[in-house]
Amino acid sequence: MGAGDFAVIGTGEVPTGNYPERSEFEIAYEVSRMAIRDAGIDKNEIGAVLTAGHIMSNPDNDYNTEMFFGRLPEAIGANGCSVVATTISGGASSFSIRKTAEGILESGETDTVLVVHAQRFSQFTANEQARYFAVAGSDVEWEVPYGMTYNSLAAIVTTGYMAYTGATIEQVAAVCVACRKWAMLQPNAMFNNKEITVEKVVNARMVSYPLTTLMCNVLGDGGSAYIMTTAENARKVCDRPVYVLGEASEYSHRTITRSVQKDPGKMGDDLAVTAKRAYENSSLGPEDMNIFEIYGSYPVISLIVMDSLGIPDERPSGELVLAGETGPGGKYPVSTNGEAMSFGHTGTGVGFSTFVESVRQLQGRAGAAQVEGAKFLVENCGGGAFMDCHFTVMGNEVPG
């Protein structure tokens, strides 16, 4: 099937934050019902329920196993469901699960798929969380013994990027500030009432040079869902469907020390090739994009992805961010929900929240964060130790 053959017609989302009393299953149930209501369909029209596995599963309360064995469609009363599946690929799960949904739709098994993500980190202690992320995404033989953690590998990429591009630490910090400004407009964001400045970010407590605490994301509980269908069906049931217009993907490495690109400062050069393919597959270009929805987790990754997307401005990405061009009211809106750094890091769910925000923007339903006249955008996600990158061009119309 080609560009514009699949569409999203409804979404659901709960607030991100520390909610230990709210189980993962409760989150999944709630966002599922929200997405069904938002789409304006009957629950029995859903023929497939796809869930994203979450990380740090608790054996005493194993949400993943519950999803494997079909508890969710039964709970929401989706009596027409014939397919139940779980997909997980780290931060790239939002892409792989969407491709699974598209495959099911293309097969003709059903024309309506519910896609769900839920995560609850608050069931684990701070030490348990730190222990998990001390080794996740790192090589147990060649990296972990030398102190590699997610924060330290992001720090390595940051120093490499700054050396290669000449970006300043103030420009890196400005990404965090822009994300926070967007989050301040998002009622479901984890940090929607705590304003920050470049000075505050730069002078915060050091974590792993040159990253301070405010340059590192914070884990939170949360979840979201959406309804995907064929474009033909979407036009029958939805006033403003959001179409998938083009995409491209690239896998580079398992661990950062084995990256195909050995200079971390040059990662954007490689990603630009992939981004160009996504544009070409959609018959659109960066000049057509109204929004750039990036899932970076760390400010340097946002800058690297911005570099790759061909934003039509001669200024370097760092200068654009520092000048306020990517924040609310700027020429090139980036990460309009605040992504992992301010919306909150929900494990495999950050890409889901970015995707759901993309749909809201293109439906003109993003509230105070709405970018006026948004017609086309490019959305990005990736997983692991920045192991892969996926670009998707989306729009509320299909280019002629």
CB proximity list for 263: less than 8 A, separation 6 or greater = 160, 164
pLDDT number for residue 319: 98
Q: How far is CA 7 from CA 4, 56, 292, 296, in A?
A: 7, 31, 19, 25
Asked whether residue 397 is assigned to any structural domain, the reply reads no
CATH number at residue 227: 3.40.47.10
End-to-end CA distance of the chain: 16
Per the CB < 8 A criterion, the answer to whether 199 and 169 are in contact is no
Q: Which domain holds residue 54?
A: 6-124+219-237
Per the CB < 8 A criterion, the answer to whether 293 and 336 are in contact is yes
Q: Retrieve residue 351's tokens.
A: 């890409």
Asked whether residue 363 is assigned to any structural domain, the reply reads no
Per the CB < 8 A criterion, the answer to whether 384 and 137 are in contact is yes
pLDDT number for residue 384: 81
pLDDT number for residue 244: 97
Per the CB < 8 A criterion, the answer to whether 308 and 272 are in contact is yes
Q: How many domains does the chain have?
A: 1
Low-confidence ranges of the chain (pLDDT < 70): 1-2, 60
CA distance linking residue 59 with residue 66, whole number of Å = 11
Q: Residue 27's closest CA among 1, 80, 66, 83? A: 66
Asked whether residue 117 is assigned to any structural domain, the reply reads yes
Q: Could you give the residue ranges of the DSSP H alpha helices within the chain?
A: 24-39, 63-68, 71-76, 93-107, 126-135, 150-165, 169-183, 198-202, 231-237, 267-282, 299-308, 317-322, 350-362
Asked whether residue 382 is assigned to any structural domain, the reply reads no
pLDDT number for residue 1: 57
Read off the pTM. Answer: 0.95
Residues 310-335 have pLDDT tens digits of 999 999 999 999 999 999 999 999 99
pLDDT number for residue 148: 78
